[in-house]
Amino acid sequence: MTALLHRAGQTLLVLFGVSVLVFGVFFATPGADPTARIAGRNASPQIMEKVRHEYGFDRPLPVQYVIMMKKLFITRDLASYANRGERVVPEIMQAAPVTACLVCGAAFIWVTMSIAMGTVAAAMKDTWVDRGLMMLGLVGISIPVFWLGEVANLVTQNRYHDTWLFSWVPGLGYVPFSQSPLGWFRALVIPWTVLAVMFIGIYSRVLRTDLVTLAGEDFIRTAHAKGLSPIRVLLWHGLRTSMVTFVSLFGMDFAQLVGGGALLTEVVFGLPGVGRLTYRALTTLDLPVIMATVMYSAVFVVLANAAVDVIYVFLDPRVRDAS
């Protein structure tokens, strides 16, 4: 319990560090006036003055930091001037569920698929099944996600859309779950698959390697000597032990995707998620939005990391004692 509290404190500290760093990079870079960057290009002097006052750019740096954090997390009225004064935080809050739905669905697919593929490949090591699956995994890793997305779009939206196979595929865009669960599912199922492909490749290969290495371990030998069936040995002893590595890998990837790493998929499929928001902000150099999304993804990575550590504690008793 104290270990968990300790960990929570650590997480807060890291979050603080990250926010300072992000703030520093965006606003405390010497020689550049942040006012102009927030106000956007060709802003009138009045707007400049308003921005300067609102963000406290005429006051010391720590005060600026506090104002910025207040605007981000408490009053949430950080506004994007480049985008006609639209509030940034609500925009992110709107985009986040879309990204979350996309990533969670994809994660579900890639976790189940990669566990299935990796385990089957390890069980049938050195057979053609193993080689076939691993080859497939390699293909998945090498296909760029935007290309796969475009091809999927081409096939399902244009070329074969009118055939019975793909006529159910809705047009690009997002349908909220609350509006129509079926529509939501239809809108997301192809993006999910596309996003998951690369991860299936990576995870199944990693898992297979891990399981094969474990097969040489003493405890696997013991499990066989106990008279357990090979399947039980593989699943209960091999796979269960492998989960420790698997989870740490998963936590990182999941966090960076939720934090905006699914940008290409979102753009290709026209999903209004955090990634697309970042993408748009980058193309228009919309500083508040960029900063807010960076901050948001940093928070996610740090939180996910902490979550992984907690899961670790449940998965691996050795970690439990070490802390």
Give whichever of 67 and 244 is closer to another protein, judged by the CB atom.
Answer: 244
Residue 317 sits in the site that holds another protein (CB under 8 A): yes
**Distance in angstroms (rounded) separating the CA atoms of residues 262 and 95:** 12
Q: Which of 113, 20, 98, 114 is nearest to 257 (CA)?
A: 98
Residue 224 sits in the site that holds another protein (CB under 8 A): yes
The residues near 15 (Cβ < 8 Å, ≥ 6 apart) are 298, 299, 302
Q: At closest approach, how far in Å is the CB of 222 from another protein?
A: 5
Q: At closest approach, how far in Å is the CB of 137 from another protein?
A: 22
Backbone region of residue 79 per phi and psi (left: phi > 0; alpha: psi in -120 to 50; beta: other values): beta
Q: Identify the residue among 30, 128, 179, 318 touching another protein (CB under 8 A).
A: 318
Residue 221 sits in the site that holds another protein (CB under 8 A): yes
**Distance in angstroms (rounded) separating the CA atoms of residues 148 and 139:** 11
Give whichever of 244 and 252 is closer to another protein, judged by the CB atom.
Answer: 244
Q: Identify the residue among 41, 217, 282, 285 touching another protein (CB under 8 A).
A: 217
Stretch that binds another protein, among 32-40, 257-265, 286-294, 311-319 (CB under 8 A): 311-319
Q: At closest approach, how far in Å is the CB of 236 from another protein?
A: 8
Q: Which of 129, 134, 115, 121 is nearest to 240 (CA)?
A: 115
Give whichever of 147 and 236 is closer to another protein, judged by the CB atom.
Answer: 236
**Distance in angstroms (rounded) separating the CA atoms of residues 143 and 148:** 7
Of residues 237-256, which lie at the interface with another protein (CB under 8 A)?
237, 240-241, 244
**Distance in angstroms (rounded) separating the CA atoms of residues 88 and 164:** 42
Rg (CA), the chain: 24
Q: At closest approach, how far in Å is the CB of 225 from another protein?
A: 4
Sketch the per residue contact string, 51 through 80, with another protein: x for CB under 8 A, - otherwise. ------------------------------
Give whichever of 127 and 180 is closer to another protein, judged by the CB atom.
Answer: 127
Q: Which helix (H) or strand (E) holds 30?
A: none
Sketch the per residue contact string, 109 through 128, with another protein: x for CB under 8 A, - otherwise. -----------------x--
Give whichever of 301 and 315 is closer to another protein, judged by the CB atom.
Answer: 315
CA torsion angle for 239, 245, 248, 249 (degrees, to 10)? Answer: -90
Q: At closest approach, how far in Å is the CB of 316 from another protein?
A: 6
**Distance in angstroms (rounded) separating the CA atoms of residues 296 and 300:** 6
Contact in structure between 78 and 27 (CB atoms under 8 Å): no
Contact in structure between 251 and 224 (CB atoms under 8 Å): no
Residues that bind another protein (CB under 8 A): 126, 217-219, 221-230, 232, 236-237, 240-241, 244, 315-318, 321-323
